[in-house]
Amino acid sequence: MQIDFMTSFLIGIVVLFALMFVASGIRVLKEWERVAILRLGKFKYIKGPGVIWVWPILDKIAMKVSLRLLTYAFKTERSLTRDNVPVIVDAVMYFRVIDVEKAILSVERYVVAVELAAQTTLRETTGKVTLDQILSERDEIAGHLQELIDEKTEHWGIKVTAVEIRDVVIPSQLQDAMSREAQAERERRARITLAQAELEAAADMLKAAKMYEESNVGFVLRIWNVMQEISKNANLIIMVPANIPQVGIAAGTAAALSAGTGGLKLPDKERGQD
């Protein structure tokens, strides 16, 4: 009986250690997680997601990698443009791991490496363009940044999906100068537009004068139209010249008197005829 008890006890201990051994190698990975397994220091394979098991003591998880899209915001501190203007360019980058094996074996701490590559590339690109290009060609510069950074990181199994320039900060003195320049440009355009309007108006007035020269009746009607507009002011008395042709007197007088409360004073000769 004592021997059977000892045997059962030893078997129980062995089973317990076996269960502990098996349980120590169980790992649970999320859907977007992958791990690299090293066996005795050598790369063995990539595992995940779900429940995985690794050999205790023999196997080791080198690194856990996320396949989700990562976001990194970065900026340059007082970089000089090609025209020697100090600027601070604020950008954001989106990247993801597409080759887990390269991301683990080719570079140490791939996230830090990608961030440093983005910072240096942004500084280099800023020095090759002018301030006007940075302000007006953000999309083109961002696309160029994406190509350069992606070229550096493709050997690490990293894909840069997009780079966006969020803000460009320039010195306040330069902002004031640019504001004055923009205001002067707007004034220049306004004066050009006014001059063009004057030219068009002068051309139309010449055409109208030519028509009045050819039509005496039209000229008289135009005179009475002007008088009608003037007579709307109640404080005015209009003196009608005696040499205006008789054709427009009656119609023009009636129109002027009906337009407002102002007086229309005719010469004695014309009043006598009426």
What mean pLDDT value characterizes the chain? 79
More confident residue, 273 or 91: 91
Cα end-to-end distance, the chain, whole Å:
155
What mean pLDDT do residues 234-248 have? Answer: 58
Cβ atoms of 119 and 74 within 8 Å: the answer is yes
What mean pLDDT do residues 193-215 have? Answer: 81
Where in the sequence of the chain do the CATH 3.30.479.30 domains occur? 70-170
Given a cut of 70, is residue 91 above it in pLDDT? yes
At 92 the pLDDT is: 93
Q: How many CB atoms are located within 10 Å of the residue 49 CB?
A: 14
What mean pLDDT do residues 80-107 have? Answer: 89
Cβ atoms of 134 and 99 within 8 Å: the answer is no
At 242 the pLDDT is: 58
CATH class of the region 70-170: alpha beta
Residue 67 CA to its chain's centroid (Å) = 29
Given a cut of 60, is residue 172 above it in pLDDT? yes
Q: Could you report the per-residue pLDDT of 123-155, keeping only the tens digit for each?
A: 888 888 888 888 888 889 999 999 999 999 998
Q: Could you report the per-residue pLDDT of 30-54, keeping only the tens digit for each?
A: 888 888 888 888 888 888 888 888 8
Ranges 97-111, 173-187, 253-267: which has the least confidence: 253-267
- Tell me how far apart the alpha carbons of residues 182 and 186 are, in angstroms, rounded to a whole number: 6
- % pLDDT > 70, the chain: 79
Sort strands 26-29 and 42-47 into parallel, antiparallel or unpaired: unpaired
Q: Tokens in use for 150?
A: 């992606």
For residue 91, which of 145, 14, 33 has the smallest C-alpha distance?
Answer: 145
Q: How confident is the model at residue 238 (pLDDT cuts 50, 70, 90)?
A: low
Cβ atoms of 85 and 174 within 8 Å: the answer is yes
Q: How confident is the model at residue 195 (pLDDT cuts 50, 70, 90)?
A: confident
- What is the reported pTM? 0.59
Check residue 248 and report its DSSP letter: G
- % pLDDT > 90, the chain: 15
Ranges 108-112, 151-155, 200-204: which has the least confidence: 200-204
Given a cut of 80, is residue 27 above it in pLDDT? yes
Q: How confident is the model at residue 95 (pLDDT cuts 50, 70, 90)?
A: very high
More confident residue, 267 or 145: 145
